[in-house]
Amino acid sequence: MTTVENADVVDEGQEADLTDDRLARALGLRVCDLPALRSFADGAAVADPDAPPLRPRDLLHRRLRSSVCDDMIDPRALQAARPRPAEPALTGRPSLLLPQPEPLPDITLADAIEQRGSSTTYAARPLPLATLVGLFEGAAGIRDHRPGYNVRDFPVRRAPSAGGLAPIDLYVVANDVAGLDQGLYCYRPSGPELTVVDSGNMRGKVADAGIAADWLFHAPAVLFLTVNMERVEWKYGVRSYRYAHVDLGVLTQNLYLVATGLGLATCAVAAFDDDSANDLLRLDGRDAFVSLLFACGLPGGR
């Protein structure tokens, strides 16, 4: 094996390997991680020698500029593209038939915007399942089917998303939902249905996943907004990371406003431990990962 000491006697190819190996070790990475790192470095190249040093967010933002992201799908390839699965498959797991969603009361958009707020306290009363279904359906349900991506009936959702690809999935930990056993469920809008992912009391695990958010223990329901990168990356490439998080924000506001209409107390939570949350949902944390929590219940409590 080539050592640092005899590096001057190796030929050019070996020297490149040596450099990669040393660089990878210095960064705590593997050699196979270096192409991704180099693509970052290329995208982040600073022409101006007087520019201030890059911060982590500069690296990310500079790499995700449209002028640098050159792996979006070719328009000709798009002509023949087929849509990816629009929701998690979760094959072999039971799904629940859902009650009719609680209808949204007559509330003007202006009133909903005015009355919306975040609350970390909830009444010690169960959240009715029909209300939870009303939240899912009202904020994220399918409102139509239209021709798109070479199929006649591509689903159109209540929350807009880049290219209509809807990369955000909704899971819910039901702590105290009347008509729903305690456990973890995935909302699949095509049913619509809730697919059982896990069962049992998960209050402790949810509170542990939050950072300085013990109050999550008492939330009757905690939604997890997850990003499915494969659903968007085939079309938007590296830039998908930006689009997906804009979609997540849009959906979050839908959730806030629909929850307000339904008279719920809610709070978005970005302060959570990624690994704990992904483990809880059995996501790999790479192609699919949790990006936000959203607690809800009936208003009340202290």
**Nearest to ligand FMN of 194, 293 (CB atom):** 293
Interacting positions 280-299 with ligand FMN (CB under 6 A): 292
Q: Which of 99, 300, 123, 102 is nearest to 220 (CA)?
A: 123
Shortest Å distance, C-beta 115 to ligand FMN: 10
**Nearest to ligand FMN of 121, 182 (CB atom):** 121
Residue range at the interface with ligand FMN (CB under 6 A); choices 26-34, 92-100, 112-120, 192-200? 112-120
Q: Rounded to 5 degrees, what are φ and ψ at 297? A: -175, 180
Q: Which of 267, 277, 281, 283 binds ligand FMN (CB under 6 A)?
A: 267
Q: Which of 268, 289, 299, 301 binds ligand FMN (CB under 6 A)?
A: 268
- Count the residues of the shown chain that bind ligand FMN, applying the rule CB under 6 A: 11
Q: Which of 120, 121, 182, 276 binds ligand FMN (CB under 6 A)?
A: 120
Shortest Å distance, C-beta 213 to ligand FMN: 6
Give yes or no for residue 2 binding ligand FMN (CB under 6 A): no
Q: Which of 103, 117, 200, 204 binds ligand FMN (CB under 6 A)?
A: 117
Residues 165-204, one symbol each (x = binds ligand FMN by CB under 6 A, - = not), give: ----------------------------------------
Q: Which of 118, 150, 199, 201 binds ligand FMN (CB under 6 A)?
A: 118
Interacting positions 211-230 with ligand FMN (CB under 6 A): 213
- Residue by residue, DSSP assigns the chain as ---STTGGGS-HHHHHHHHHHHHHHHHT--GGGHHHHHHHHHHT----TTSPPPPHHHHHHHHTSTTT---SPPHHHHHT--PPPSS---TTS-EEEPPPPPPPPS--HHHHHHH----S---SSPEEHHHHHHHHHHHH-EEEEEEETTEEEEEEESS--GGG---EEEEEEESSEETB-SEEEEEETTTTEEEEEEES--HHHHHHHBSS-GGGGG-SEEEEEEEETHHHHHHHGGGHHHHHHHHHHHHHHHHHHHHHHTT-EEEEE--B-HHHHHHHHT--SSSEEEEEEEEEE-S---
**Nearest to ligand FMN of 264, 292 (CB atom):** 292
**Nearest to ligand FMN of 194, 248 (CB atom):** 248
Q: Please report, as ranges, the residues that interact with ligand FMN according to CB under 6 A.
A: 117-118, 120, 213, 252, 267-271, 292
